């Protein structure tokens, strides 16, 4: 394939921008990747590396038979995803999840991008809309888009950007955890990628301790916002104290659920609730508190979290915090190829489009990168079918689901990939030995059938498109 003479410009070297640049370069099209860090930092980032993970270090469940995100992992691996390849290289023990050493992960991506001869990296902020002579642009600035660029996009579209808050969980030094009270175990002893079945630190609470913890959360000092008070939280990343406000039992049926765990220090007594910590770096010296994203003031975090059994002497490498995210009303202002209807030379990719999560952001970067490369070479690009995880996610953002599945939501909101985004099965579920499927068995069979259909349709799409095999 000949190399195109005109580059595609990408603004932002996060997960989506880095993935898009990689995919475009693989199509023999030059890329100019514009990244404002480290010239100008954001409130959430701490390095100048590309694809820095600012919140969790988990890419969530990796099993394509039981999870939609696992299906997305499978499809991205099949398309030589830069992000998934780096995640696999730097995976950490995390039960059934794919978690990564965040520093090694970002460093690898930065090195690969900078070493690619078709990718030119320019460290600068693009304030306002890109120059008019950039005819093929991907804006992948993420939820932390600079005010100048965000204002320019808003002026161009006439749309008021939607926004929400994301919260960050604390990270604890492993050596400060009291393992005479805590223990290592994955829920239901599930090993998963890079794991052993004993991948999480578990801190148990009895009923009295649990209710005292919830009461302390409700009374603790919280950060109050002077602006954007009406900005909602994303439901998939609620601060733990906001969950506690929704009811005393909410946490023990959410991030503190005790199911699938047995305390070896007291095996005959089931914990009423459990706090889990997941490995956060390759050395195993840091662990993050799973689901404990918070907007408590720093002093309150230390006081409340040290009341948890096993964490009485916890030392924190990082305390929790919040940052404001923005995203577009994509079904209204973007077309099916992620181009801005008001100015089609501009495409958008990643979280700013209204997908939520590291993997989803990278997945949209992958697809949008391929779309931009196809445009540059004058080829048509047929997106993956809606029955695949990639296709279902694309449909969510471009409003394809409104026609193919249901009447659509009353308003567009950020969304993780999930089984509810897939078109319904048209064939009946198989009944093993004539047995009628009920409850959990029926749900598991449905997920397996959706996964099998997605794999079949994805492989047919790849074959029809003659997508290059991974290098």
286 and 334 inside one domain: no
336 and 283 inside one domain: no
Domain boundary among 263, 295, 323: 323
47 and 91 inside one domain: yes
Taking a C-beta distance cutoff of 8 angstroms, is the pair 225, 151 a contact? no
- pLDDT of 347-374, one tens digit each? 999 988 988 889 999 999 999 999 999 9
Domain boundary among 260, 294, 323: 323
CA–CA–CA angle 119, 120, 124 (5° rounding): 135
Specify if 221 maps to a domain: yes
300 and 367 inside one domain: no
222 and 306 inside one domain: yes
- pLDDT of 107-157, one tens digit each? 999 999 999 999 999 998 888 889 999 999 999 987 667 777 777 877 877
Share of the chain above pLDDT 90, in %: 58
Q: How many CB atoms lie within 10 A of CB 416?
A: 20
Does 17 show up as a binding residue in the annotation?
Answer: yes
Specify if 72 maps to a domain: yes
Mean pLDDT, to the nearest integer, of 308-324? 85
CATH code for the domain of 294 = 2.40.30.260
37 and 105 inside one domain: yes
Residue 199's domain comprises 167-323
29 and 66 inside one domain: yes
**Residue 236, pLDDT score:** 60
Task: Return the C-alpha torsion angle 270, 275, 276, 277, nearest 10.
Answer: -140
Does 16 show up as a binding residue in the annotation?
Answer: yes
Reply yes or no on whether the pLDDT at 319 is more than 70: yes
Specify if 458 maps to a domain: no
CATH code for the domain of 127 = 3.50.50.60
Q: Which residues of 21-52 are buried (b: 16+ CB within 10 A; e: fewer)?
A: bbbbbbbebbbbbbbbbeeeebebbeebbbbb
132 and 44 inside one domain: yes
- Band (pLDDT 50/70/90 cuts) for residue 330 is confident
171 and 317 inside one domain: yes
318 and 375 inside one domain: no
Does 14 show up as a binding residue in the annotation?
Answer: yes
Give the helix ranges, DSSP H, for 248-336. 298-305, 330-333
Does 392 show up as a binding residue in the annotation?
Answer: no
Domain boundary among 265, 293, 323: 323
Does 439 show up as a binding residue in the annotation?
Answer: no
Which tokens sit at 18? 């880095």
Specify if 469 maps to a domain: no
- Band (pLDDT 50/70/90 cuts) for residue 164 is low
Mean pLDDT, to the nearest integer, of 295-323? 90
CA distances from 346 to 8, 130, 144, 379 (A): 11, 9, 18, 18
How far apart are alpha carbons 76 and 417 in whole angstroms?
A: 13
111 and 72 inside one domain: yes
How far apart are alpha carbons 303 and 197 in whole angstroms?
A: 31
**Residue in 433, 101, 97 with CA at minimum distance from that of residue 280:** 101
319 and 331 inside one domain: no
**Residue 403, pLDDT score:** 37
Specify if 289 maps to a domain: yes
Taking a C-beta distance cutoff of 8 angstroms, is the pair 153, 127 a contact? no
List, in sequence order, every residue forming a beta bridge with 138; answer none if it has no partner. Answer: 10, 347
Radius of gyration of the chain (CA): 23
Which of 104-118, 151-165, 196-210, 257-271 has the lowest average pLDDT? Answer: 151-165
**Residue 471, pLDDT score:** 45
Domain count, the chain: 2
């Amino acid at each position: 394939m000949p190399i195109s003479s005109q580059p595609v410009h990408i603004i932002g070297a996060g997960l989506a921008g880095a993935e898009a640049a990689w995919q475009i370069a693989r199509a023999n099209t030059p890329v100019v990747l514009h990244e404002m860090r480290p010239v100008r930092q954001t409130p959430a980032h701490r390095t100048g590396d590309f694809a820095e993970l600012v919140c969790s270090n988990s890419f969530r469940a990796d099993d394509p038979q039981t999870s939609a995100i696992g299906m997305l992992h499978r499809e991205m691996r099949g398309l030589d995803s830069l992000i998934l390849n780096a995640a696999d290289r730097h995976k950490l023990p995390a039960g059934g999840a794919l978690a990564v050493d965040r520093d090694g992960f970002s460093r690898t991506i930065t090195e690969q991008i900078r070493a690619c001869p078709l990718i030119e990296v320019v460290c600068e902020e693009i304030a306002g809309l890109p120059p008019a002579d950039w005819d093929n642009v991907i804006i992948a600035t993420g939820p932390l888009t600079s005010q100048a660029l965000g204002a320019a996009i808003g002026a161009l579209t006439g749309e008021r950007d939607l926004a929400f808050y994301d919260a960050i969980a604390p990270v604890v030094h492993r050596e400060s955890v009291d393992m005479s009270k805590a223990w290592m175990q994955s829920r239901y002893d599930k090993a998963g990628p890079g794991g052993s079945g004993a991948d999480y630190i578990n801190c148990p609470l009895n009923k009295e301790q649990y209710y005292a913890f919830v009461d302390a959360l409700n009374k603790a000092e919280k950060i109050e916002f002077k602006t954007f008070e009406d900005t909602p939280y994303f439901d998939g990343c609620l601060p733990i104290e906001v969950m506690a406000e929704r009811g005393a039992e909410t946490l023990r049926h959410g991030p503190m659920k005790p199911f699938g765990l047995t305390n070896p220090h007291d095996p005959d007594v089931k914990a009423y609730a459990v706090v889990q910590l997941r490995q956060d770096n390759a050395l195993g010296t840091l662990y993050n508190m799973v689901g404990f994203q918070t907007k408590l003031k720093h002093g309150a975090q230390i006081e409340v979290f040290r009341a948890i059994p096993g964490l009485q002497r916890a030392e924190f490498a990082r305390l929790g915090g919040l940052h404001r995210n923005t995203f577009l009303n994509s079904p209204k202002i973007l077309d099916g190829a992620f181009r801005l209807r008001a100015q089609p030379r501009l495409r958008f990719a990643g979280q700013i489009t209204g997908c939520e999560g590291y993997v989803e952001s990278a997945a949209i970067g992958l697809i949008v990168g391929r779309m931009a490369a196809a445009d540059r070479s004058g080829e048509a690009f047929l997106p993956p079918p809606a029955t695949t995880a990639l296709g279902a996610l694309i449909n969510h953002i471009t409003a394809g689901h409104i026609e193919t599945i249901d009447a659509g939501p009353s308003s567009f909101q950020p969304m993780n990939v999930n089984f509810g985004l897939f078109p319904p099965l048209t064939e009946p579920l198989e009944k093993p030995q004539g047995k009628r499927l009920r409850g959990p068995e029926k749900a598991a069979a449905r997920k397996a059938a959706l996964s099998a259909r997605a794999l079949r349709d994805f492989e047919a799409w790849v074959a029809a498109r003659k997508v290059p095999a991974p290098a």
